[in-house]
Structure 1
Amino acid sequence: MPKQRDVRAQRDLLSNATWQVLAEHGLPGLTLRAVAERAGCTTGLVMHAFPTKKALLLHARDLLYDRTAVRADAAEAASADAFGALQAVLGQAVDLPHGHHDESRVWVGFLAAALADDDLAERHRAANRSFLARVGRLVAACRPEWTDERLELTTKSLVALVEGLNVLAAADPRGYPARLQQNALAAALAPLR
């Protein structure tokens, strides 16, 4: 009797290999061959699951979104009030000493590719809108008396701060250490207290 393929296990293996290659070697290093080598399989198996580099990138972005959404949900649920939830959600989103440095590198690689591809850019915009909606809801809960314009500016400023810190820390972790990131986030959150 032929051996049954464990499709889920193979996909998980390839997902992990894709993630590692993108985190370690960036966008230029993400090839079907590199993923196959990392996974210890053939390029044919990789192509069966992800026929193109774009498919690999979309999968890596979806995996990143899923991971960060789970953490954000947990951070928000564990908080006693809206400010604590906002602080926790944004705090887990930056590349602090949480071990998310690889996530920042994957995000940067995906974003670089999205600049030249409409499908990738739309996936990025959809994830960004979701994060903006979460942060906006929490900002509004902290400051219900603020105008819509001020809420939008504050929300987008906070998201830009954490995403900018991620990009800069991914390229220069010594220049943007955890302490600097924590202080920058605390200063930006001060008016919401």
Structure 2
Amino acid sequence: MQEKGTISIHTENIFPIIKKFLYSDHEIFLRELVSNAVDATQKIKRLASLGEYTGDLGETRVEVEVNKKKKTITVKDAGIGMTAEEIKKYINQIAFSGATEFVEKFKDAGDAKEIIGKFGLGFYSAFMVAGKVEIDSLSYQEGAEPAKWICDGSTEFEIKEGKRKTRGTTITLHINEDSEEFLEDSRVQGIL
């Protein structure tokens, strides 16, 4: 499985808009990714309690790893994971209709986290600090194949077969030179 495509958006140059107006608080990227990972682990626990997931839950913790040598930050979970189709649906299609006007009108008036939540943009905060983001995910669904999504912050992405062997998602951020402060353990611990 290998596929290349374009992220579906409703406005031109969305990433510069996100970076300029929504993310004056650069630390938000890590909180957003960890929050998403926690949500994924809670979902698998809920499915298990309903009898819709009968596999071994194992440890459902979230891990954050900093690799200074590779200049990466990795967020791993053992949550529900995603199929390639789910990645395309939830990551590539940004619901952004009317967001530009909203951001312009309220950029100085409110909490950036509130704006981000309204448009499902939390994941994209990763591009504030990363030149490339990779998602490697394996869905809890029986027979699911691992899928890997790669994007350099443009609207172009690639999906191919992933390497993940266990249920969940691994998100790897390749940190930009101007954001290397986030490769310090104390900085990451301070955010979390």
* Structure 1 or 2: more helix by fraction: 1
Give TM-score scaled by structure 2 length.
0.26
The structure with the largest strand share of the pair is 2
